[in-house]
Amino acid sequence: MAKDRERANAAQLAAAEKLGNQAASLEARLRVVSNERKLALEQVSFLEAKVESSANKFSDDLRRATYDAKKALADSYLDVLVSLKEKWEKKKAATDCEARLREVMTNIDLFKEIMNNNLLASDELLRLRTKEDLPEDFFARDSSAANGADDVTKRSGEFAAPEDLIKVLVFGQLVLLDVLKAREVACPGALLASFDSLDSFRGWKFQALATHKVAEGPYDTIGFDCGLECDVKTNKERSV
């Protein structure tokens, strides 16, 4: 009996020792698996961070490339607009110069016709009134002698005042109408103008020399310049 009990205890002890060894082996295996799992999680986290960084970099590169492309397109469009603006300004300047040249040539031809034909102010006023379809009383003078003298003095002063003649436009018929009206009021029946010399037209410049003083005023010579400048000489200055 005692021997059987010893054998049973020895067998149980051997089984317990075997289970202890198996438990130690499993525990070591569990530690290895746990370490491997920890490393795997670290690798996953690293890969996730790398993926996120790559996505951010791709997004930044795409945004930068899109911005550069849009900027290049906008710069090209701006260059086209600037070029078109420069061409338009040059064309506009050329068109304005051509229009001004046509107006100047028209007025020069008109003055040459007046001077060459020795036209009277009254005849030219009548022709211009008919051509421009103006009312009959457009050039009518005041019937009152006193008021008429005041109007003549006022018109002559306005026409000959230096501050009013600094910027006189020689373009258009209105300037010519004012000149003819003032001359007709001041000197009825007088010749409009005469050439000083053929060189007067050289350099786009000409003069209208009055054969009579305008209402006995201090100005008897009025020079017109196509550069939009007007020169007025007094009798005293001419004598000097």
Q: Are residues 89 and 122 in the same domain?
A: no
Any domain includes 107: no
pLDDT at site 189? 52
pLDDT at site 198? 33
**Paired tokens of 75:** 């710069």
Q: Are residues 130 and 235 in the same domain?
A: yes
Q: Are residues 235 and 127 in the same domain?
A: yes
pLDDT at 40 over 80: yes
Any domain includes 166: yes
The last residue of a domain, from among 38, 67, 98: 98
Q: Are residues 122 and 233 in the same domain?
A: yes
The last residue of a domain, from among 43, 69, 98: 98
Q: Are residues 153 and 71 in the same domain?
A: no
pTM over 0.75: no
Instruction: Domain of residue 50: give its range.
Output: 1-98
Q: How many structural domains comprise the chain?
A: 2
Q: Are residues 3 and 68 in the same domain?
A: yes
Any domain includes 191: yes
The last residue of a domain, from among 35, 67, 98: 98
**230 Cβ contact partners less than 8 Å away, ≥ 6 residues apart:** 165, 166, 167, 168, 222, 223, 224
CA distance 60 to 65: 8
Q: Are residues 124 and 234 in the same domain?
A: yes
Q: What is the mean pLDDT of residues 165-180?
A: 46
The predicted-structure confidence for 56-91, as pLDDT tens digits, reads as follows 999 999 999 999 999 999 999 999 999 999 999 888
Q: Are residues 54 and 130 in the same domain?
A: no
pLDDT at 49 over 60: yes
